Amino acid sequence: MKTKYKHIYFELPKSVNPKQDHPTYWCCNNKTDSLLGRIFWHKDWTKYVFEMYEGTVFSQSCLFDVVHFIKQLS
């Protein structure tokens, strides 16, 4: 599964069990390693969703990368 992109990367938090059915992933900035948001399983929608953190902005290419990552989880 691809987790590293041009400007962002995705990782499992250290406290998450990677074997759980629907783990949560962090979205991070490649340059600063700062947290930009999270991808998690939304039980009511029964699919993965992206929640960006307050004050973060994304270019079109970064949003395409978020979509690509979520598609890999489906």
The predicted-structure confidence for 19-44, as pLDDT tens digits, reads as follows 778 999 999 999 999 999 999 999 99
pTM (2 d.p.): 0.90
Residue 27, in any domain of the structure: yes
Residue 31, in any domain of the structure: yes
Residue 2, in any domain of the structure: no
Residue 47, in any domain of the structure: yes
Domain that holds residue 51: 8-73
3-class secondary-structure state, position 56 = coil
Count of domains observed in the chain = 1
Residue 39, in any domain of the structure: yes
pLDDT digits (tens, 9 = 90+) for 5-20: 999 999 998 876 767 7
- DSSP of 9-47, one letter per residue? EEE--TTS-TTSSS--EEEEETTT--EEEEEEEETTTTE
Query: Which of the 8 DSSP states describes residue 53?
Result: P
Residue 3, in any domain of the structure: no
According to the model, what pLDDT value does residue 18 have? 63
Q: Is the pLDDT of residue 46 over 90?
A: yes
